[in-house]
Each structure stands twice: as structure tokens, then as C-alpha cells.
Amino acid sequence: MAKSMGASLYIPANHKHLMAVADGSRLGHTRSLIFCTEDAVADADLSWALFNLSVVLANMRAEASAERFVRVRNPEVLARVLAMPGAEKLTGFVLPKCTRHNFDAYFKLVRHTEHMLMPTLETADVFNDNEMRLFREVLEAPGVRSRILALRIGGNDLLALLGLRRPRNLTIYRTPLGPVIARLVTTFRPYGFVLTAPVFEHLDLPELLDQEVAEDMAYGMVGKTAIHPSQIALIEQHYRVKARDLEAARAILDEDSPAVFKMHNSMCEVATHRAWAQRMVEQSNIFGAHQSDTAAP
């Protein structure tokens, strides 16, 4: 079962403090870092970004509290990063605009490494349910499935394909992407693939971000992209497990519990709620739990 990732912070690969962030001396509370060579880096700055990244990979500590990924721009950039000394220190790679048509170009480069992959669903194929099912079959192939850590949903790119931008008064689930995200969940999650939620681009609307992360959780998202350190705590407070949920989860996993029982005025059914219960316990081990539900979001 894939673990929850919480907030994954994007940081441009040409950032002046990339080394300090990679080693944890800056933003040491982050759990997941994604060094971006794609949309966060202008074409004219790519060469400098890759040089900066090469210096960081060569000199950063092999062990760090945060998982570290590189969001590559294309297979050619992936090949260049893999050739850099220190690339083995990375947890893996985020693959942008990934489809069943270009996935193999990426995968053949990492086939003999131990890197994990997070393909990003952000092309017009996402709106085609059959394409998503075919892509899932590609990802289910022997030797591939175990390398897929999560699928990332590229909300801004998908909205751009519709000629839209995220409104300032609605969560992503109240836009045309709401039904699309629901279909991605039902297409991939029953087959063991987990997804992460799109970026929230407005930095001055913490209440709306709070509402959106609550909806992310309802859709079973295991993480959310953060574009600024100020978003990390707002996101991860939702990954702290509610006290009553943790109590119910432990009761469901108790071998002495009956098949069906009532707790907190809700029905608990061991056979159908076991996967949820396991996820709640694991999530509490990573993010902690609220002491009482009055403190929970």
C-alpha cells in the first residue's frame, strides 16, 4: 500500500538555495521535494538550471529526511540527469505530460536503476477515458508497476487545455476538472495506483486551500503539490488523522472485533473498511493524529 506523501514542494532547479533545500538546512520540515526543470524554468534558463542541479546532486548528502525527486522536461533531460554524479541519491523522477505513447521513452532510461516514477496526467488524453484505461495497462506491465510511486494530476495544464484558469472563489472540484478527477480516481485507484492532487496557485486564500485539501482527502489523494513553503503546514494538517477515525481504524483492525459494529454513531464493517483502517493507522504513523476531533480540520 502506497504511503501518504503529504505536501510535495516544487522548487525550480535554478533556485539559488537549491543546495540548502536539498540538504535540509533550509525548509527542513519538508517531506517531499521536487526539483523542477520543466514549467518552473524558462527555456533560456534550462542550461543554467541543469548545471545548478548537477552541482547539487554531486554535493548533497546521500541521506536526507525528505524524499527528493527531479521533474524532468523530456526524456533527453532525464538522460542528462541520470548521467550526473549523485543521481543515485534521488528517490526518483516526475514525468511531465506523460501518456501511454511517451512513457516507454522515459522508462527505458530508468529500467536498470532503482528510481521511482511519478507520471503526471496533464494532456488532452486525460479527457479520454479509453486512453486512461490503456495507459493504466501500460503501467501494469511486469517490471513497471512496482516503479510507479503515484500519479500526479496536473490541474493547471488541464485547465489550460480548456482555456480556463482556476477561479479565486472555487476549489478545483467545482470546476470542469471535478468530474475528470473523479474518473481518474475510479480508473486507477481500484487497480492499486494512487494519485496526488493538483497545485493550488493562490497564495493569499488559505481558507479556500483548506477547503480544497479537505476535498482532496475525500477523493483519496495521497498528497498535494505545494508551490510555496507557506502551503505545507496548511496541507499537512489534513493528513493528521482525526482522533475518532484512528480509534475506529484500530477497532476495525482488532482481530477480536465482530464483523460489524457501531462506533461514534457510525457502522464499522471489518471486511469493507479494513483498507481504510490500515491507511489511517499508517497515515497517523507518518503525520500524527489530532488529540481530539475539535482540533481537527
pLDDT digits (tens, 9 = 90+) for 22-66: 999 999 889 999 999 999 999 999 999 999 999 999 999 999 989
Same-domain check for residues 70 and 177: yes
Say whether pLDDT at 3 is over 80.
Answer: no
At 180, the pLDDT band (50, 70, 90 cuts) reads: very high
Say whether both 159 and 273 belong to one domain: no
As a whole number, mean pLDDT of residues 187-210 equals 97
The Cα 116–Cα 78 span in angstroms is 13
- Per-residue model confidence (pLDDT) at position 291: 80
Residue 296 has pLDDT above 80, yes or no: no
Nearest residue to 187 (alpha-carbon basis) of 147, 146, 143, 128: 128
Q: Is there a single domain that holds both residue 69 and residue 175?
A: yes
Q: What are phi and psi of 231, to 5 degrees?
A: -85, -15
Q: Kindly give, in sequence order, each residue whose CB lies less than 8 Å from that of residue 74, ignoring residues fewer than 6 positions away.
A: 96
Please indicate, yes or no, whether residues 163 and 278 belong to a single structural domain of this protein: no
pLDDT of residue 196: 97
Same domain, 108 and 171: yes
Q: Are residues 151 and 291 in the same domain?
A: no
Q: Is the domain of 143 the same as that of 267?
A: no
Q: Do residue 264 and residue 176 come from a single domain?
A: no
Average pLDDT value for the chain: 94
**Res 286: pLDDT:** 87
Residue 136: per-residue pLDDT: 98
Domain count, the chain: 2
**Stretch 91-111: mean pLDDT, rounded?**
98
Containing domain of residue 291, as a range? 243-295
Cell numbers linked to 1: 500500500
Q: Specify the pLDDT at position 190.
A: 96
CATH code: domain of residue 223? 3.20.20.60
Is residue 1, in this structure, part of any structural domain at all?
A: no
Q: Does the pLDDT of residue 292 top 90, yes or no?
A: no
Looking at residue 297, its pLDDT comes to 55
Residue 291 placed within a domain:
yes
pLDDT single digits (tens) 220-248: 999 999 999 999 999 999 999 999 999 99
**Domain annotation covers residue 96:** yes
